């Protein structure tokens, strides 16, 4: 499984958790979504830095 598809899956999961959180008005889902978005952002930053060094 290539890295790009894992990142995309992470992003889709984060959006899904946020949407579920806003529909059900449960904070836990929103927090999980925010954490996943944070992880996605960090991962993207690391990948972009690695690519710029090449």
**Four-point Cα dihedral 29, 16, 40, 26, nearest 10:** -10
Evaluate if residue 1 carries a pLDDT over 70.
no
pTM of the model: 0.59
| Tally of domains in the chain | 1
pLDDT tens digits for range 3-52: 778 778 878 888 888 888 888 888 888 888 888 888 888 888 888 888 88
For residue 22, give its domain range.
3-53
């Amino acid at each position: 499984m290539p890295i790009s598809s894992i990142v995309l899956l992470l992003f889709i999961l984060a959006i899904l958790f946020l949407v579920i959180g806003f529909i059900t008005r449960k904070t836990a889902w929103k927090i999980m979504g925010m954490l996943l978005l944070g992880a996605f952002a960090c991962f993207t930053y690391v990948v972009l830095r690695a690519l710029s060094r090449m």
